[in-house]
Structure 1
Amino acid sequence: MGSKIIKSIILDKLRENPNKKAIDIYHEIKSDYGMEVSYRTAWYGKERARESVLGGDADSYAQLVWVFSFADPLCSLMLPSSPTNIDANQGLYPVAYAISETESNWRFFLQCVSEVLSRYPMRQVTFISDQNPGLLSAYPHVFPNNPHGFCFRHLVENLSKKYPSQSPLHKSVPYLFMCCAYSRTPDSYETNLAKLKEEGGSIVEDFLKDLPKESWCSAFFNEERFGEMTNNLAETFNNWMGDLKSLPIYDLNEGIRTKSMERIAEQKEGSKEWVTILCPNMEKKLINNLAVGRHWRVMRSDTYVYEYQCQKYRVMVNLGEDFICSCREWKCHGFPCSHALVAIQQHGVSPYLYVSPYYKVDKFRETYSHTINPIPSISMPVDLSRSSFPLQPPLTKRLVGRPKTRRYRSRSEVKRQIKCSRCGKYDGYNRTSCKAPI
């Protein structure tokens, strides 16, 4: 049995699942037809069927020009990394995505994002990135006045790589660096920084030499960051894409568009049942913060100024125009901390008056009020090669060996252990796939 016959057998199955693996095809041929085929033959049959179903790279790129004539101006931007946002319920909200990572493409991409954001000049947008070289050089030219924070997780990974994995400093130095990054006051930062330099020595000093503290430390980041210290949203977006990343560029774009379309519709319909002022996750956070300070002693200093005692600590809260708490959590997260909520209760007003409107249900519904329209393919031209603006695929050379489909993990990354809630074991499965006898 050759690859052409295998192609004809699996063609319909591949339409349902374009990411079908060659090893699965090998086993299906064995079980359904009782015939032995080599893995190489099964793989070639899969590739032939895949090209027949999805088309080649030239066809895929030609289809993009037609698709962009229908797409939303913001959603039609493309790169393998993506600017993503958090909605009012702390969920993922993809803003734009792109396909290339050169400096010129990054600048063009950011200019397109800036053009769309300029329609909403009422607030400043904060960016958090992983210090991509193309992004770092393009960002100041497009967003010179917007705050730009560095991802704490990537900084920790870069710092931990400078120490041998067997060394005790491999774990202690990143921990001290975390203490510095999450310091809320300049004094606590200086204290933690002295400990970090004493522990890490010259390696830490060289690492921090060209790293502005305003970009990674909470104590010196004066703009709204809403408690976000990492760009994990980009990783979440990559996981959310799933197997789409292995599809041709047109199908990749269509997969992201349809997933975004479904998510927006799902969130829009789900929020109609909410009856609270804040989004559900933020409402829970408000209740938890209120419960923390129930037993604290509060003293009034002025009309809007309060002091309260918590064990051996004293904290000042100003409910005036600036909304200040001396712990700086209110400033860092944009959400009233436990100290502020105790003062608000003592002041006799509703805590919802002091919560940012971006956490409220009305803003959530406004975020998902727009829709991504379907794009029927019946209007697609039969011969896209005659387009006035033909788009050709890049000239690439396939490397020897099997292509890598998984991201290389840094040695500082620790794989999270999954505990089964049914049997209680840490064997990498959950309750859904648990087969242990109970």
Structure 2
Amino acid sequence: KDDKRRVTVICKQKDCPFYLWVRKSMQATYWQVVSFQNEHYCFRTVRNSQATPEWVSKRLMSLLMHSPDMRLKALVAFALEKWGFRLSMDQAYRAKVKAIEKIEGATRDQYKHLRSYVAELLDKNKNSTMKIKYDLSPHDPIFERMYVCLKACKSAFVTTCRSLVGLDGCFLKGEFGGQLLTAVGKDGNSQMFPIAYGIVESKNYSSCKWFIDQLIVDLDGIQEGSWAFISDQQKGLVEVIKELGENVEHRLCVKHLYGNWKKKYPGEHMKELMWMAARATTTLDWEKAMLQIKNYDEEAWNDLQKLNPTCWTRSAFKVNTKCDLQVNNMCEAFNNVIMKYRHKPIITLLEGIRFYISSRIVKLRTTLKRYEGSICPKIQQIMEKNKKTCEPWRTHWCGDVDLSLFEVSKGMEKYVVNLKQQTCSCRKWELTGIPCTHAIACMWINGVEPELSVNSYYRKSTVLTTYSFIVYPCNGPNLWPPLQTPVMLPPIMRRAPGRPKKARNKKNDESTKRPYLPRQSRSVVCKNCKAIGHNRRTCKG
């Protein structure tokens, strides 16, 4: 019992003598213990009904501030050790959600402050691009899409990186779902370089066109034959890039192409034949590989013939990008490193990506400054490999004044090298900007250091310039400028059917956490007639 003048406490367990009676003094200035029986004959319970999610969340804030990804089982164990009672998994989940909301702000409330966040970031990072598209409803605007391209990423990519852009998207796991579209390039050390990213409702034609239109403006427009894109075979992306014009090269990720192709044409030998055709750098080598596919399976050859060669084989790639990349692994790598932010509210997500890009720039610049070579480390490894394989090749100078025309042979293989024009008939030098093994053999005859002929994209000085641009720090919400604009509402929820999940479906050739194969259904075979679909008891034949 509990009222204004007295409090009575008894044990919940039956027949337990514990008893406490407290009453207020006549002057109402203090409380007095009238009766107290401090003996327990009952067993102790580890449940506590007073440990509400609100009470627990306040005490978990300091812990979750440093370990926001702490698992529920760890929280239950922490509460038992710290306070002596056991939380249910449901209590732990609700307490964690409340604590995270107190730390990061409620998911819905972050949309109200989104414009202030954009104003702060644009104020500190001049000439960056941040655009919000919203639905002008009769009342307050409803968020639809957002595009972000930081000035440091924009300037570095346009001035120092090769003109190949990878496009991809990944699902957001937060309350309102959606997808994160990304544009990622390659730096001079063949590492990923984030260019721009955007939040859209889904990966369709409309959202892809809106994202790519903003991206092209930041890349100073599409000059004739200057840019190339690589992506998976999504209909929206394919159609949008096709509309940019015939001079814009669009490569399809061969890994995704093969993933679809092998469903119909499985087998290790078919895989080797397809990749042989994809990696061929000359038209003749590609035709030979395609002929092998035709001889092995003509139907598979017919399906590959439907694809434009410029989309998937190096023999048809343009050489202006100085990049022979065939898989969109740079986008997949970026999606992987930001995975821990993909279930966060929108401002926390954007801040996590910005902080990652800023930290990456500082880390790579510091690492490269300690490197002593003039050519980037990964490119130097390719050069060393080419040097080792050039020994069996025999060179023949053709007698030109510039000492640049050579004929290089090994057995029945023969190639023409022009050192002045930096070309080789194998096309590897032109495709990548890195001297091939045939060119290096000729350079050694002339006494020329091969590293001097490596394209300027791969030089240490160029990559240091790439990472010399800074992502400037921003103030917190307490210092964001107040804006006299209508409150922005969160997007309309599009809940998918079924139980929500965070992990995507794995392909057959991808590794999973479980060390065993999933259960597979078996077809019933009749022991009487050997037919499939019924057993001996229901057999009619």
Q: Distance in 1 between matches of 2:182 and 2:245?
A: 17
Q: What residue in structure 2 maps to residue 354 of structure 1? A: 453
Distance 2:276 2:300 in 1: 17
Q: Deviations over 1:177-204 (max 9, x none)?
A: 1111111222221222122234344355
Matched residue type, 1:358: Y
Give the structure 2 partner of residue 97 of structure 1.
197
C-alpha separation in 2, matches of 1:361 and 1:148: 29
Deviation at 1:268, TM superposition (A): 2.4
Q: Deviation at 1:360?
A: 0.6
Secondary structure at 1:286's aligned position in 2?
A: helix
C-alpha displacement at 1:120, in angstroms? 10
Name the structure 2 match of 1:329.
428
Distance in 2 (alpha carbons) for counterparts of 1:414 and 1:310 = 41
TM-score w.r.t. length of structure 2: 0.69
**8 Å CA contact retained: 2:386, 2:440:** yes
Give the CA deviation at 1:269: 2.8
Change (3 A) 1:308 1:159: same
Alpha-carbon distance between aligned partners in 1 of 2:512 and 2:269, rounded to the nearest angstrom:
19
Q: Are 2:68 and 1:18 aligned?
A: yes
CA distance in 1, matches of 2:413, 2:325: 26
The residue number in structure 2 matching 1:5 is: 55
Q: Distance in 1 between matches of 2:362 and 2:225?
A: 26
* Equivalent residue, structure 2, for 1:255: 352
Residue 316 of structure 2 is matched in structure 1 by: 220
Distance 1:231 1:10, change over 3 A: same
Residue pair 1:74, 1:112 contacting (<8 A) in 2 also: no
1:72-83 correspondence to structure 2 within 5 Å: 72=125, 76=130, 77-78=147-148, 80-83=180-183
Partner of residue 319, structure 1? 419
Separation in structure 1 between the aligned mates of residue 296 and residue 446 of structure 2, nearest angstrom:
46
SS in 1 for 2:485: coil
The answer to whether 1:110 aligns with 2:212 is: yes
Q: Is the 8 A contact 1:126 1:225 kept in 2?
A: no
Once residues 99 and 499 of structure 2 are traced to their aligned partners in structure 1, the CA distance between those partners, rounded to angstroms, is: 19
Question: Matches of residues 207-356 of structure 1 in structure 2 within 5 Å?
Answer: 207-208=303-304, 210-223=306-319, 224=321, 226-303=323-400, 304-321=404-421, 323-356=422-455
Alpha carbons 2:397, 2:407 under 8 Å: kept? yes
Instruction: Find the residue that maps to 1:375 and give its secondary structure.
Output: coil
Aligned to 1:61: 111
What whole-Å deviation, never above 9, does each CA across 1:405-433 have from its counterpart, x for those lacking one? Answer: 2222212435699xxxxxxxxxxxxxxxx
Partner of 1:42: 92
Cα separation, 1, equivalents of 2:129 and 2:429 = 33
Deviation, structure 1 residue 152? 0.7
**Distance in 1 (alpha carbons) for counterparts of 2:458 and 2:92:** 52
Q: Kindly tell me: are residues 162 and 66 of structure 1, through their superposed partners in 2, closer, same or farther at Cα, counting changes over 3 Å?
A: farther
Tell me: CA distance 1:399–1:315, structure 2 relative to 1, closer, same or farther (3 Å). closer
| Cα shift readout 1:194-228 (whole Å, capped 9, x = no counterpart) | 222343443552x3354211110111112335221
Report deviation, 1:340.
0.8
Query: Between Structure 1 and Structure 2, which shows a larger proportion of helix residues?
Result: 1
Distance 1:122 1:132, change over 3 A: closer
For residues 37-72 of structure 1, the C-alpha deviation after alignment (integer angstroms, 9 at most, x for no partner) is 221221111112222222223222233322223245
Give 3-state SS (helix, strand or coil) of 1:372's partner.
coil
> Contact between 1:289 and 1:338, CA under 8 Å: does it hold in 2?
yes
Structure 1 residue 402, shift from structure 2 partner: 5.2
Identify the residue that residue 87 of structure 1 maps to in structure 2. 187
Q: Which amino acid in the other structure matches residue 270 of structure 2? A: V
| 1:301 aligned partner, one-letter code | C
TM-score by length of 1: 0.85
Q: Aligned residue for 2:165?
A: none
Question: What is the CA distance between 1:381 and its match in structure 2?
Answer: 4.5
Q: Which residue of 2 aligns with 1:428?
A: none
What number of residue pairs does the alignment pair up? 408
CA deviation after TM superposition for structure 1 residue 284, in Å: 2.9
Structure 2 Cα separation of the partners of residues 173 and 75 of structure 1: 46
CA–CA distance in structure 2, aligned partners of residues 5 and 161 of structure 1: 54
Matched position secondary structure for 1:409 = coil
More strand by share: 2
Deviation per residue, 1:141-198 (Å, 9 max, x gap): 34653211110110011111235xxxxx343322221111111222221222122234
Q: Is the 8 A contact 1:8 1:49 kept in 2?
A: yes
C-alpha distance 209-338 of structure 1, shift in aligned 2 (>3 A): closer
The 8 Å contact of residues 253 and 326 in structure 2, kept in 1 or not, is answered as yes
**Whole-Å Cα distance in 1 between the matches of residues 245 and 468 of structure 2?**
27
1:126–1:147: 8 Å Cα contact kept in structure 2? yes
Distance 1:209 1:286 in 2: 35
SS at match of 2:271: helix
8 A Cα contact 1:114 1:142, kept in partner: no
What is the aligned-residue identity percentage?
25
Structure 1 residues 400 and 327: CA distance shift in structure 2, 3 A? closer
Paired residue for 2:255, among 130, 150, 153? 153
- Whether contact under 8 Å (1:75, 1:97) holds in the other structure is no
Gaps of 5+ in 2: 1-50, 131-146, 149-178, 515-541
Q: Is the 8 A contact 1:161 1:412 kept in 2?
A: no
| Counterparts of 2:306 and 2:484, CA distance in 1 | 49
1:162 aligns with one of 264, 285, 295 = 264
Q: Does 1:375 align with 2:477?
A: no
Contact kept, 8 Å, 2:185 with 2:194, in 1: the verdict is: yes
Larger Rg: 2
Q: Distance in 2 between matches of 1:355 and 1:416?
A: 42
Structure 1 portions without partners, runs of 5+: 164-168, 418-438
Distance 1:159 1:123, change over 3 A: closer
What is the one-letter code of the residue matched to 1:128?
I
Q: Would the aligned equivalents of 1:19 and 1:246 in 2 still touch at CA under 8 Å? A: no
Could you say if the C-alpha distance between residues 399 and 141 of structure 1 is closer, same or farther in structure 2, counting changes exceeding 3 Å? closer
Quote how far apart the aligned CAs of 1:75 are: 6.5
Task: Classify 1:267/1:228 alpha carbon distance in 2 versus 1 (closer, same or farther; 3 Å).
Answer: same
1:252-278 C-alpha deviation (Å, 9 max, x unpaired): 100010111111122223333333221
